[in-house]
Structure 1
Amino acid sequence: MQAVGMKAEAVASILADKQDCDVLIAAAWLHDVGYAPGLATTGFHPLDGARWLRHVRFDDRVAALVAHHSCAQLEADERGLRSDLDAEFDREQSAVADALWYVDMTTGPDGQDYEVTARLDEVRSRYGPDHIVTRFIDRAEPDIVAAVRRTEDRLKAAGNQPM
């Protein structure tokens, strides 16, 4: 989580609006909070984390970005939780959402930088071919890669190199 948060701090400058920068950074630092044992109720960390953020009255937009980070709606489908996710949290499609997916899906579990397709392969190898997460990644790959590429394009247009 720390590497994702720090990467968000570094790429937030591509967002013109200061509020968008702050929202991206907060969502990046908090995107995996739902893995915390005391917060896990469904076992689906985007939804568990977003529900906790809402419970503690954190910013609604941050909670929604956490709920839907990195194509979470497709994993929610796999887990039978899509209707809960969609009913409780709006899905934002924006440069901020893309940037959140970028910082998440180009950072490995030990904080190392990855090219997005290598990161997706890393996830698949960690979970194995029959795991629900692997099935989700297989379905989500085109959308995840597209969001990452859009962010890379924004970084290049701003004169920054993708990380």
Structure 2
Amino acid sequence: MADHLSSWAWRVAQSELAQALPRRWAHSQGVARAAAALSILVDDDHDLLIASAILHDVGYAPRLVMTGFHPLDGARFLRDEHQADERLLRLVANHTYALLEAEERGLRKELEENFPILDNPLLVDALIYCDMTTTPCGTPTTAADRVAEILARYGPDTMVGKFIQRADPDIRAAVGRIERAQEVQPR
């Protein structure tokens, strides 16, 4: 796959997020930088990983909000307005254990039926790693600190707070798998 997918994704994400949500745009750029650093792990799918990283939060863009659940809203936008690659849609829709939050919101069936999780555990883990090791401002962090930041921002008794607490062990496991994979890669 050529780098045209990530170039297109960058333009789409920038047009939807840069002005409307500059902090979310900074986070998305940081997630994409983290994805670029993992390119050796995903070989031929590096462009897909970078594209999904830059677009993972596009559903937060105010004009795209339909359900209020950004993974679903973002994937629908990419499908309906851009006829985006199916694997990209599935990564965006299911990033960072979105099925768990979808369940909290009563949207799990809708998410699963429209965008089944991608059958590529390495890519799924890599996107989780990139998202959960990047602060809202786009700088590197640890998964533990990122989960703590989300809990502090939203509160433990909110829908997002409940979801992130529930997903925390799975997030840490996914991040650990990517960190171990990086350790065995030649430099």
Is TM (by shorter chain) over 0.5?
yes
How far apart, in 1, do the equivalents of 2:114 and 2:183 lie? 35
Shift in Å, 1:129: 2.1
Which residue of structure 1 aligns with residue 109 of structure 2?
Answer: 83
Equivalent residue number for residue 134 of structure 2: 107
- What is the Cα deviation at residue 128 of structure 1? 1.1
Distance 1:4 1:135, change over 3 A: same
**Quick check: 1:67 aligned with 2:93?**
yes
1:8 and 2:35 aligned: yes
Q: 1:23 aligns with which of 35, 38, 48?
A: 48
2 CA distance for matches of 1:159 and 1:68?
A: 30
TM-score (norm 1): 0.94
Deviation by residue 1:14-51 (Cα, 9 ceiling, x = unmatched): 123x1x11111110010000000111100000000011
Counterpart in the other structure of 2:69: 44
Bigger helix fraction: 2
Runs of 4 or more consecutive aligned structure 1 residues displaced over 3 Å after TM superposition = none
Q: Which runs of 5+ in 2 are unaligned?
A: 1-27
Matched letter for residue 145 of structure 1 = R
Q: CA RMSD in A?
A: 1.0
The Cα of 1:122 is off from its aligned counterpart by 0.7
Aligned residue pairs total: 158
Give the percent of matched residue pairs that are identical in Structure 1 and Structure 2: 49
Q: State the SS of the aligned residue for 1:15.
A: helix
Picking from 29, 34, 44, the partner of 2:59 is 34
- CA shift, 1:84, in A, is 0.4
Pair 1:146-2:173 in alignment? yes
Q: CA deviation at 1:159?
A: 4.1
Aligned to 2:10: none
Report the AA paired with residue 8 of structure 1. A
1:44-81 CA-partner distances (Å, limit 9, x unpaired): 00000011111120111001000000000000001010
